[in-house]
């Protein structure tokens, strides 16, 4: 696929502050990298490279001089394209003033006002909810749309936009969907039925701080605006911060990377806000909108070749939606593997049939394209909202897969903690609580009562033996507690002989 960053019409309408951002905003530019196949794409993702597009034998990345040099040293052939962030910025920042508006694109303030106006105009159908506050203290708003009588259970669908700051169209589509549902209610038979028989939660801006930064300071900005504890490099990639199989795949431990995963799973207020909403609502299906590439992606993202028990259903729903927006349906990892994205969490943890749209052919298309992308994608979303009445995700991964990944996660988290010099007593809260949660989950899944046949302990034992010493050390607290549980079991009235034997197995593992 060819990159065409067409001249953007809105430039004349946007005025920006240039100076303060530039010290930290590197001179990013788009470049192409030749790749021989999957392994190369995976290697790039694991180097924390910001991948914009994957084509046949070539990957388009957002890079900067120092990173290009590193990639070249790693053996990649990197060719800069003509489009640099500096040139984009020059067009966006003609006079150094803060933006009053972003032309036809919504600013954060405009989007919030529009949501409140819609709720006010349709009090029986729509309600604004404050999901939480961003790192810089801005409200993350959701619009809940439903005409179902209070208390009636209806299938719920989530549509979210703006995880990544420079993906402006991803705000427009959720807002257009809200307009469609509320504007045509009572006039259009299908829309009226869908609003009455579903609850649609719309979050146009998950990352308000990043959105504002991109619209007023630096158009190519991707992440949120976490100050990373005073680090010169700001921002965490919200789409590497969700907690399912959180680790290092396709992400970076370095705050200066555009795919920096943060100090721990769900370390960011914006991902916490979505987590709370998703765990409370239990959506049947959801779409998180990104750009660009004209793709509809479905789980898994965190690794190749994972079992997805709902693959056929994802493909069917994906094809249904693609009829309307012209996207290609793909498993996320087939684009490139990356952990910590929204869809893996939504599906893996909350059993929502979760899709990631990658709309458009560039990060910020011309304003003249907004209407078309909104119309096509609204139709695609309506197809999913319709289908949500009759579908359900089937299952979660089997215990062996889950256990293996928890173990890897534990080892990874322990590694990050060590790098940061964190101890149980002092360290990033998100990291410590993630360590704690992961250990507790492992224990809950392997405790004597959950493992009558002993196959979970056998799995754990195989995992521990396959680990190198530092990773095994991360497992020790779990092994120790499990051993105590079996010792207690062995000395209990039931006096299971098998329990003593299992305690001995654990002793052996602890002695490795």
Stretch that binds Zn ion, among 87-95, 162-170, 401-409, 471-479 (CB under 5 A): 162-170
**335 touches, from Zn ion, ligand 0X9, none (C-beta below 5 to 8 Å by class):** ligand 0X9
CA distances from 306 to 402, 435, 441, 495 (A): 11, 24, 21, 40
Considering CB distances under 5 to 8 angstroms, the limit depending on partner class, which of Zn ion, ligand 0X9, none binds residue 341? ligand 0X9
The number of beta carbons lying within 10 Å of the beta carbon of residue 445 is 16
CB of 242 to ligand 0X9, least distance (A): 10
Task: Find the shortest distance in angstroms from Cβ 260 to ligand 0X9.
Answer: 12
Tokens representing residue 303 in the block? 């690794």
Residue 325 interacts, among ligand 0X9, Zn ion, none and using kind-specific CB cut-offs from 5 to 8 Å, with: none
Strand ranges (E), 172-227: 199-203
Query: Which residues are marked as active site?
Result: 358
Q: Is residue 336 packed enough to be buried (19+ CB in 10 Å), middle (13-18) or exposed (0-12)?
A: buried
User: Based on CB atoms, which residue is closest to ligand 0X9, 158 or 432?
Assistant: 158
240 is an interface residue for Zn ion by CB under 5 A: no
Q: Which residues inside 299-338 make contact with ligand 0X9, applying CB under 6 A?
A: 301, 332-333, 335-338
Task: Find the shortest distance in angstroms from Cβ 61 to ligand 0X9.
Answer: 10
Interaction with Zn ion in 272-301: which residues (CB under 5 A)? Answer: 290
Q: How far is the CB of 50 from ligand 0X9 (least distance, A)?
A: 7
Residue 164 or 198 having the CB closest to Zn ion:
164
- How far out from the chain centre does Cα 37 lie? 24
Residue 327 backbone zone (phi > 0: left; psi -120 to 50: alpha; other: beta): beta
DSSP assignment string, 81-145: EEEEHHHHHHHH-SS-PPPS-BTTBPPHHHHHHHHHHHHHH-TTTEEEEEEEE-TTS-EEEEEEE
Q: Which residues from 337-356 bind ligand 0X9, rule CB under 6 A?
A: 337-338, 341, 356
Contact with ligand 0X9 (CB under 6 A) among 122, 290, 406, 456:
290
Residue 331 CB, shortest distance to ligand 0X9, in Å, is 9
Comparing CB distances to ligand 0X9, the nearer of 301 and 446 is 301
CB atoms within 10 A of CB 270: 29
CB of 208 to ligand 0X9, least distance (A): 17
164 binds Zn ion (CB under 5 A): yes
Q: How many CA atoms lie within 13 A of 464 on its CB side?
A: 24
Calculate the CA 502 to chain-centre distance. Answer: 39
Contacts with ligand 0X9, 355-394, as mask; x by CB under 6 A: -x-x------------------------------------
Instruction: Evaluate whether 265 touches 340 at the Cβ level (below 8 Å).
Output: yes
Q: 224, 274 in Cβ contact below 8 A?
A: no
**Which residues contribute to the site for Zn ion (CB under 5 A)?**
164, 290
**Which residues contribute to the site for ligand 0X9 (CB under 6 A)?**
52, 164, 239, 290, 297, 301, 332-333, 335-338, 341, 356, 358
């Amino acid at each position: 696929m060819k990159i065409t960053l067409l001249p953007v019409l809105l430039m004349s309408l946007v005025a920006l502050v240039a100076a303060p951002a530039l010290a930290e905003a590197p001179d990013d530019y788009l470049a192409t990298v030749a790749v021989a196949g999957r392994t190369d794409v995976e290697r790039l993702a694991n180097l924390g490279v910001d991948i914009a597009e994957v084509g046949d034998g070539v990957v388009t990345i957002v890079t900067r001089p120092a990173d290009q040099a590193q990639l070249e040293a790693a053996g990649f052939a990197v060719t800069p394209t003509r489009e640099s962030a500096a040139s984009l910025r020059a067009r966006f920042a003609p006079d150094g003033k803060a933006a009053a508006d972003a032309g036809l694109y919504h600013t954060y303030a405009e989007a919030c006002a529009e949501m409140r106006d819609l709720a006010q105009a349709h009090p029986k159908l729509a309600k604004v909810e404050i999901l939480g506050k961003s790192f810089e203290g801005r409200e993350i708003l959701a619009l809940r749309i439903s005409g179902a009588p209070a208390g009636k259970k209806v299938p719920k669908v989530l549509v979210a936009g703006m995880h990544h700051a420079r993906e402006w169209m991803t705000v427009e589509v959720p807002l257009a969907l809200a307009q469609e549902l509320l504007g045509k209610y009572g006039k259009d038979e299908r829309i009226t039925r869908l609003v009455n028989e579903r609850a649609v939660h719309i979050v146009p801006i998950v990352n308000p701080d990043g959105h504002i930064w991109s619209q007023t300071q630096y158009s190519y900005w991707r992440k949120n605006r976490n100050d990373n504890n005073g680090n010169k490099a700001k921002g965490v990639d919200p789409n590497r911060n969700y907690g399912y199989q959180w680790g290092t795949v396709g992400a970076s431990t370095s705050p200066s990377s555009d795919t920096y995963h943060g100090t721990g799973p769900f370390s960011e207020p914006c991902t916490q806000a979505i987590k709370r909403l998703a765990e409370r609502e239990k959506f049947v299906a959801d779409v998180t909108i990104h750009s660009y590439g004209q793709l509809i992606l479905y789980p898994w993202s965190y690794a190749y070749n994972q079992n997805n028990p709902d693959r056929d259903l994802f493909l069917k729903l994906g094809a249904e939606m693609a009829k309307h927006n012209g996207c290609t349906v793909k498993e996320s990892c087939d684009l490139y593997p990356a952990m910590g994205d929204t869809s893996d969490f939504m599906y893996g943890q909350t059993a929502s049939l979760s899709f990631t749209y990658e709309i458009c052919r560039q990060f910020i298309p011309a304003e003249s394209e907004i209407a078309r992308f909104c119309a096509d994608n609204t139709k695609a979303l309506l197809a999913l909202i319709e289908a949500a009445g009759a579908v359900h995700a089937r299952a979660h991964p089997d215990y062996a897969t889950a256990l293996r990944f928890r173990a890897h996660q534990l080892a990874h988290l322990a590694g990050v903690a060590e790098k940061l010099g964190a101890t149980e007593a002092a360290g990033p809260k998100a990291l410590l609580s993630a360590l704690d949660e992961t250990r507790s989950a492992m224990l809950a899944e392997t405790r004597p009562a959950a493992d009558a046949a002993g196959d979970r302990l056998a799995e754990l034992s195989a995992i521990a033996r396959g680990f190198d010493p530092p990773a095994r050390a991360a497992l020790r607290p779990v092994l120790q507690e499990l051993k105590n549980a079996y010792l207690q079991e062995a000395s209990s009235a039931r006096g299971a002989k098998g329990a003593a034997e299992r305690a001995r197995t654990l002793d052996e593992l602890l002695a490795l």
